[in-house]
């Protein structure tokens, strides 16, 4: 029972394959557009927007931003984005398998688990990147006006919860697949 043809419920095999092909395209769109979007954001965002992104008050950046601060900020925030994109790459591969009708396979569930792991690491790195960015953006401020902010919001908590949920589901599906294969060996 490793193909989509064995799926119960309202999703037909053809529909799962079609939606999976769309998801592969969506993953490719994210992989291609997010890195340049990050660069454009850091090149064009106002100091107030960048401050808000780093969990700082709107007027926390007292001195004009230097080019090196924008470049360093973009580099720091590129780390969690890179981790997230590694997860999207795993999801793209998983949806590719679904599009071919390979659903309940150990490889598909492993890809799903890897996706969850990369998303969790991206969320944690995002928290650290926000703190590092707050320091970078206020480094040219006079002494006593520099900031270090730590932001733990509901989006971080939800992302970690989601990643844990997907990882656990992938582990349970993999265990079920292993048991099914063992049972087939006894028959």
Q: Is 168 helix (H, G, I), strand (E, B) or coil?
A: helix
SS3 102: strand
Which pLDDT score, from 0 to 100, does residue 68 have? 94
- Separation of first and last alpha carbons in the chain: 15
pLDDT reported for residue 3: 52
Of how many residues is the chain composed?
Answer: 187
Q: CB–CB of 174/106 below 8 Å?
A: yes
Query: pLDDT, tens digit, for every residue of 86-115?
Result: 999 999 999 999 999 888 788 999 999 999
pLDDT tens, position by position, 52-74: 888 888 788 887 889 999 999 99
Residue 104 near residue 169 (C-beta atoms within 8 A): no
* Neighbouring C-alpha atoms within 13 Å toward the C-beta of 82: 9
User: In angstroms, rounded to a whole number, what is the distance separating the alpha carbons of residues 132 and 163?
Assistant: 24
CA-based angle 156:160:165, to the nearest 5? 145
Which of 109, 91, 108 lies closest to 22 in space, CA to CA?
A: 91
User: What pLDDT score does 148 carry?
Assistant: 85
d(CA 15, CA 173): 21
Write down the pTM of the prediction: 0.85
| pLDDT value at residue 1 | 44
Nearest-10 crossing angle of helices 67-99, 106-138:
170
List of the chain residues with pLDDT < 50? 1, 4, 7
CA distances, 185 to each of 35, 101, 104, 167 (Å): 47, 23, 17, 27
CA angle 35, 39, 41 (to 5 degrees): 110
CA distance 65 to 135: 12
What pLDDT does 9 receive?
Answer: 60
Give the bridge partners for 102, in sequence order: 3
What are the C-alpha distances in Å from 80 to residues 87, 107, 122, 168? 11, 25, 5, 22
């Amino acid at each position: 029972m490793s193909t989509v043809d064995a799926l119960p419920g309202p999703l037909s095999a053809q529909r799962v394959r079609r939606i999976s092909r769309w998801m592969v395209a969506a993953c490719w769109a994210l992989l291609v557009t997010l890195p340049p979007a990050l660069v454009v954001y850091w090149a064009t965002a106002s100091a107030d927007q960048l401050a808000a992104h780093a969990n700082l008050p709107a007027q926390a950046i007292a001195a004009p931003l230097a080019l090196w601060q924008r470049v360093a900020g973009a580099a720091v925030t590129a780390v969690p984005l890179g981790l997230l994109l590694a997860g999207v790459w795993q999801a793209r591969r998983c949806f590719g398998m679904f599009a071919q009708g390979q659903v309940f396979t150990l490889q598909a569930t492993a890809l799903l688990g890897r996706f969850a792991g990369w998303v969790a690491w991206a969320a944690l790195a995002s928290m650290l990147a926000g703190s590092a960015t707050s320091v970078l953006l206020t480094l040219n401020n006079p002494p006593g006006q520099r900031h270090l902010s730590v932001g733990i919001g509901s989006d971080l908590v939800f992302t970690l919860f989601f990643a844990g949920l997907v990882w656990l589901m992938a582990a349970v599906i993999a265990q079920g697949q292993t048991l099914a294969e063992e049972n087939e060996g006894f028959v």
